[in-house]
Amino acid sequence: MALEISFATVGVSASISIITSYFGTLINFSRLRNRHRRALGLSLLAEIKMLQRRLRHHYQIFEATPESLPKPFPRLSVTTADTTVFTNGSGNLGLFTTRTAVEVLEYYNAVRGLAAQAQALTDLAATGGDSSLLLDAIAEHLRSIRLARHHSRLVVIALRRDTPMTTAELLRYGFRRVALFTRRATRRLRFRHTSITSLGVLSGNPSDSLRC
């Protein structure tokens, strides 16, 4: 009887140990995955911000170009060094949701397409061709830049949504939400009190103005 109890105890202990090890491995793997996803997400956000500034500067230059064309145009240079994070981390885009990964891929393809388009504009201006054709090409280029800049804002929102927050960030976010809810609730109570007071004064019944 004692031997059977000892075998049962060993079996239960082994089962508990296996289950604990399995769930512990899952938790550690999830933490490691979230850590990699956060590091990649923050790095991509920084790189996309840099590309946003470059596109904005390039847009301002082309927008300010006078109609007396052709003139030498600045090139939109997007080298491999400018997209190091995307190039080295493209194999880990699966850490994000499918929608976010597709948005990131489409944005970088759009930026590279804009660089090729700017190079084509430079070559067209150098040939000294039809000015109206060049103006139409510049207008199309500006429209493409506006679309890429709008797309970059969507990518930033998607990356921020998929990038895990730390405990401190979660606490700050919770405090901000509570403060926002408190301000809105206070504003509604003040508006309700003011409305009831105004109705009581207009009706000529002072007791109504005291009801809240």
Q: Are residues 104 and 159 in the same domain?
A: yes
Q: Are residues 120 and 32 in the same domain?
A: yes
CB 107 within 8 A of CB 48: yes
Tens-digit pLDDT profile for residues 46-79 = 999 999 988 888 888 777 655 545 456 666 777 7
Token pair recorded at residue 158: 């998607």
Q: Are residues 120 and 18 in the same domain?
A: yes
Query: Taking residues 10-31, what's their average pLDDT?
Result: 76
The whole-model pTM stands at 0.66
- Cα 91 from Cα 84, distance rounded (Å): 13
Tens-digit pLDDT profile for residues 130-164 = 677 777 888 888 899 899 999 999 999 999 888 87
**Tokens 């504009």, located at residue:** 121
- Cα 54 from Cα 41, distance rounded (Å): 20
Q: Are residues 77 and 180 in the same domain?
A: no
